[in-house]
């Protein structure tokens, strides 16, 4: 069994994310991906960064809503697959509450780094958490939240990692803006690289948070039909956010497309005429690369497909 304090090689993905963050004129746009197909689509469209959504992972792997049912193992396994489709493209991953106390959080940091993840976010909900845009969230004390961030910072240092730590607070809905601000300020002092104010109630609140956080980079979570008012990439940049994630764009689009296609089959007894063909789907997911790799190695198994 490996040690929690074994060292790791520097991550090119993390280095790339740091480079993107260092450009003050650029905002990082990360579409939500949750499986291999959604990630392949995002990569084909040349997005600079991907976001592994916990909600999408829960629904795609487990078939259940985002109610804290996905485990550390579920999330790490999905993260490793997504991060290694193209290791040069950074993946920011949801790490929920860290999946336990300080030792579990240290293990999460180690596992995510080995998986190739560039950055992850930790939140201040209780272990029995839920999507940040549902009602009734329960929030842990400041002390517990700070201990989670401290555990992640300590593990990163002890392991010699450069993975970025994002501190997320869900405190706005339960305790108000000032509490959310105080938690993020302290998290940044502890060593979080980026802060994530979840479920801001208005554009003005979002702008106030960015202004009050000063030089600390802020991440904006644009959840379709969620608590936060809709903000475009341009507006997020004008407000001052450095990263904007769109977690629903992948699974929301997929569910709509699948529903439409299967409804046509159910009602008309045939597939939609404009359905993507199997060879086009395979091409999206690396078929031509596999053929070329096989050819260069002298193989013949993929000569005719």
pLDDT in tens, 182-208: 999 999 999 999 999 998 999 999 999
CA quadruple 200, 54, 16, 164: dihedral sign: positive
Residue pair 233/222 in contact by the 8 Å Cβ criterion = no
> What is the pLDDT confidence band of residue 2, given thresholds at 50, 70 and 90?
very low
Inform me whether the pLDDT recorded for 121 exceeds 70.
yes
Hey, which bits of the chain come out as E strands? 28-33, 50-52, 91-94, 119-122, 164-169, 194-197, 219-221, 243-246
Inform me whether the pLDDT recorded for 89 exceeds 60.
yes
Better-scored residue on pLDDT, 4 or 71 = 71
Phi, psi dihedrals of residue 94, rounded to the nearest 5°: -70, 130
Contacts of 240 (CB under 8 A, 6+ apart): 207, 210, 211, 218
By CB atoms closer than 10 A (0-12, 13-18, 19+), residue 258 is: exposed
Q: What is the pLDDT of residue 125?
A: 87
Report the candidate in 114, 55, 187, 204 with the shortest Cα–Cα distance to residue 196.
Answer: 187
> What is the pLDDT confidence band of residue 79, given thresholds at 50, 70 and 90?
very high
> What is the pLDDT confidence band of residue 303, given thresholds at 50, 70 and 90?
confident
Distance CA 19, CA 16 (A): 5
Inform me whether the pLDDT recorded for 108 exceeds 70.
yes
CA 132-138-139 angle, 5° bins? 90
Q: What is the pLDDT of residue 304?
A: 74
Q: What is the dihedral of CA 246, 252, 257, 259, to 10 degrees?
A: 180
CATH fold, domain 12-248, is TIM Barrel (3.20.20)
- 215-256, pLDDT tens digit by residue? 999 999 998 877 888 999 999 999 999 999 999 999 999 999
Q: What is the pLDDT of residue 132?
A: 52
- 36-60, pLDDT tens digit by residue? 999 999 999 999 999 999 999 999 9
> What is the pLDDT confidence band of residue 294, given thresholds at 50, 70 and 90?
confident
> How do the residues of the chain divide into helix, strand and coil, expressed in percent and rounded to 5?
50, 10, 40
pTM for the predicted model, two decimal places: 0.91
Distance CA 192, CA 159 (A): 16
Q: What percent of the chain has pLDDT over 70?
A: 93
Q: Where are the domains of the chain?
A: 12-248, 256-297
| H or E element in which residue 283 lies | helix 278-284
Average pLDDT, the chain: 91
Q: What is the pLDDT of residue 5?
A: 44
């Amino acid at each position: 069994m490996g040690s929690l304090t074994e060292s790791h090689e520097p991550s090119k993905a993390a280095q790339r994310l740091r480079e993107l963050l260092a450009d003050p004129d650029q905002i990082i746009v990360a579409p939500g991906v949750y499986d291999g197909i959604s990630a392949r689509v995002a990569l084909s469209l040349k997005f600079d960064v991907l976001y592994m959504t916990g909600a999408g992972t829960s629904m795609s792997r487990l078939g259940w809503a985002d109610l804290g049912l996905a485990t550390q193992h579920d999330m790490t396994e999905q993260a490793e697959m997504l991060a290694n489709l193209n290791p040069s493209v950074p993946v920011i991953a949801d790490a929920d509450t860290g999946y336990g106390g300080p030792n579990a959080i240290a293990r999460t940091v180690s596992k995510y780094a080995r998986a190739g993840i560039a950055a992850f976010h930790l939140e201040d909900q209780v272990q029995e958490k839920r999507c940040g845009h549902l009602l009734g969230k329960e929030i842990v004390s400041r002390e517990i939240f700070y201990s989670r961030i401290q555990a992640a910072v300590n593990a990163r240092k002890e392991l010699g990692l450069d993975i970025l730590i994002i501190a997320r607070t869900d405190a706005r809905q339960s305790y108000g803006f000032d509490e959310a601000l105080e938690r993020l300020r302290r998290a940044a002092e502890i060593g979080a690289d980026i802060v994530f104010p979840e479920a801001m109630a208005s554009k003005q609140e979002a702008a106030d948070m960015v202004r009050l956080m000063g030089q600390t980079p802020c991440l904006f979570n644009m959840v379709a039909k969620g608590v936060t008012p809709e903000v475009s990439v341009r507006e997020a940049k004008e407000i001052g956010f450095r990263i904007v994630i769109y977690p629903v764009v992948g699974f929301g689009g997929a569910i709509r497309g699948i529903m439409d296609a299967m409804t046509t089959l159910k009602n008309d007894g045939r597939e939609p005429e404009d359905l993507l063909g199997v060879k086009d789907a395979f091409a999206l997911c690396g078929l031509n690369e596999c053929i070329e790799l096989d050819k260069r190695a002298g193989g013949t198994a993929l000569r005719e497909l």
